[in-house]
Structures are given as C-alpha cells and as structure tokens.
Amino acid sequence: VFQSTPRAPPDVIFNLTASYKADTFKDKINLGVGAYRDNDGKPFVLPVVKKADAILHQDPALDHEYLPIGGIPTFTAASARLILGADSSAIKEKRVVGAQTISGTGANHLGALFLSRFYHPGAKILLSNPTWANHKAIFNNVGIETIDYPYWDAKKRGLDLEGMLNVIKSAPEKSIVLLHACAHNPTGVDPTQEQWKQIAEVIKQKNHFTFFDCAYQGFASGNLDKDAWAVRYFESQGLEFFVCQSYAKNFGLYGERAGCLTAVTSTPDAANRVFSQFEKLQRSEISNPPAYGARVVNLVLNDPTLSKQWQDDLTEMSGRIIAMRKALYSALKKLGTPGTWEHIVTQIGMFSFTGLTKEQVSVLKSKYHVYLTDNGRISMAGLNTSNVEYFAKAVDDVVRN
C-alpha cells in the first residue's frame, strides 16, 4: 500500500529545533523557531500564567468534560474584544462571532476551510513575499491557490509598499488578501498607519476579502491596543474580515494550542450563519477544541488585575527583545562588520530579517552551531547577554569571508 508514498521534506522551522537539540556543541544557539526565551536561554512561563494555573488548580468545579464545539464562549468574546477593542461597533452591533481553535494554525486552517466552501469559487489568496512558512501549505491543503505580493524590499531593507499595492490592485476582484496584523513574520517590518490606510483603500476598491493573521499582538509596540491598530482601522472602514489569533507567543502557551478565529461581518444574521458553519466544520475535524490553554487565557482576559499583570509580562518580554536588538547592533558596529545593520534595531517583533544569504546561513550552522532559517530570519528571543557577542562574531566572520 505504501510503496509509492513519497517522502515529505522535513518542516523548515521545527527541523531546526531538532538539529539544535541533537547538537552537542556547548555554545550552540537556536535562532530558528519563534519562541520566547529568557536571558538564560530557557523557556519562560509568564508569571500571570503561573497565577492562573494556581487559580485553576484550586477550582473544585474544574472537570475534563468536552468544551462546546465553538469553544468557551467567554474566551471567544474576550478574544474579539482584545483585537477589536472593548468599544468596537461591530461587537456592540452583534456582527462578530468567533470559534476557539488549535492556536493560530488552527484559526488559519478553519478560516481557509470556510472560505474554500463558502467564498467565491476559485478565489485565490494573496500572501506577502515572504510570509510565515506555513501559510501556503494551509491554504493549498484546502484547495485555495496562493499568489505572492511583494513585501520585502531587500535593497532598502524595508517595505515594498508600491509593489504590494500594485499586485493587490491588479488581482481579480474579490480575491482574499492575507495581512499580518502586526510584527510581520519573518521580516519584522510593518506598514505605517498611513500605509495601512492605503492598503485598506485598495482592498475596499477591489472588493477583496481581508484575512488577518495576528500571532504577535503585544510584541510589536509592546502595547496590546497599538498592535491592534490595523485591524481596528479596517473595522472602522466598514470592511468584513477574518482575524486569526494565537496565544502561543503572547501568553507563552505554545504547546497548549489556544487560539481564536473571529469573523467581523455586516449583520448579526450573517454572523450567526457564519458561526453555525464554523461549528459544523470544526465538529468534523476536531470535534471540540482543547480546554486548558483557553481556560488560562479566559481567566486572564476577563480579570482586570490579571490583565494588567499580563501587559507587564508582555512588556518584560518585548523589552528584553529590544535590548537584544540594541546589543547585537552595537556588537556588529564595534566589530566594523561590513554592510548596514540599522534594520536590526528598526525592525520590530520577535524576528529580524538579517539579509544574510543562504550560503552565509549554512556556514553559521556548520562552523558556529547557530541555527536559523535559510532566508536569514533570526528569532531575537534566542539571543541573550551571554551569547550575543558570540553570534555577532560569527556573523562578522561569515559576512567577511
């Protein structure tokens, strides 16, 4: 039966983690996966999550029953408020629905599956070039074809707005446009508010459907509301859209798989119909979402004191990443490493798109035991005060030779 099953290539990101783990070199560094590490290079359990854990474990009513198919209703409602704002008109007008998903990947998948069934047949999705390594696979899996739009201008190490707008403009009406809500993965470059306005305008003119992916709220500016600006602006423009949220990064709940797919629609009736289909699709795929991570998030988002502590924890994480950007930049400056490195400090979020070539990345891996994706993306969270000098020297060497 399986004689003709072809071997699939290993996953580009998780294969790096496996190679890193297998490496016995003492100064090895993992800058691959986007997962926060503390200054000792250790996984970080957010203090607010520890508090929520303790509260949940003391609850005598906690059981292991199934959640509703669409997830915990107070969790999905709080997720919508987090991204759209507590004073969102769409929420007030009951035009918003959400389903709890298997983190951001599950939200992208459920949204993609819904569109493959209920959106214009043959509509393609426009993805930024580059984008998260999993986007293309998720949409292709449900039969939606992808088109790239330019995003990264390698020369200026910034956003290619003109290229992006041109492709969005020339795509057939009613295409789907995937936008990273903030802290673009992998480039760390976001549009400015003025640029977001231009993007929304083109999408409106062309009747495209917007598909926001928001995996890093709280990591771009360090402020949850500021990081939701683009999504809220699109809502203010009367646009309908999906938004995928992951709580892997901003709650550090990577393995718990807590996420949400929210639909902003034009009427309460449309919202109810969309939700009924979310439930139907979800039932045949996972029956009901996993409980634990969503319980933690639900507790924190619905408690003002815990929410405040969460914001503080986020500030600690984003602050350490910014400190590492500065440390790496000054180490490269001190070494006089050829090239411009300002983008290390101007890019935002968890990643930096270094501009290192595939060949340079390969030498970093083989000679220095530093693991990063071939496109030159580094997860800043993998750097700390003990390894940043070593990494800068390694970069210096591969750039010169």
- As annotated, the active-site residues are 132, 213, 249
Asked if residue 246 lies in contact with residue 31, where contact means CB atoms within 8 angstroms, the answer is: no
For ligand LMR, the closer CB: 132 or 368: 132
**Smallest distance from ligand LMR to CB 132, Å:** 5
Q: What are phi and psi of 388, to 5 degrees?
A: -65, -35
**Smallest distance from ligand LMR to CB 303, Å:** 27
Q: Which residues are CB-contacts of 314 (< 8 A; sequence separation ≥ 6)?
A: 218, 219, 222, 224, 250
Contact status: 34 vs ligand LMR (CB under 6 A): yes
Among the listed ranges 17-25, 41-49, 131-139, 152-160, the one in contact with ligand LMR (CB under 6 A) is 131-139
For ligand LMR, the closer CB: 18 or 62: 18
CA gap 225, 85 in Å, rounded: 7
Q: Which residues pair with 209 in a beta bridge?
A: 176
Beta strands in 152-286 (DSSP E): 152-153, 158-159, 176-180, 209-214, 241-246, 258-264
Among the listed ranges 127-135, 265-273, 297-305, 384-392, the one in contact with ligand LMR (CB under 6 A) is 127-135
CA gap 143, 326 in Å, rounded: 43
Contact status: 134 vs ligand LMR (CB under 6 A): yes
**Smallest distance from ligand LMR to CB 85, Å:** 25
Contact status: 185 vs ligand LMR (CB under 6 A): yes
Provide the terminal-to-terminal Cα distance of the chain, rounded to the nearest Å.
Answer: 50
Q: Which residues pair with 158 in a beta bridge?
A: 153
Q: CA 247, 248, 252, 255 torsion: positive or negative?
A: positive
Contact status: 130 vs ligand LMR (CB under 6 A): no
Contact status: 15 vs ligand LMR (CB under 6 A): no
**Smallest distance from ligand LMR to CB 178, Å:** 14
- Residue whose Cβ sits closest to ligand LMR: 34
Binding site for ligand LMR (CB under 6 A): 13, 33-34, 132-134, 185
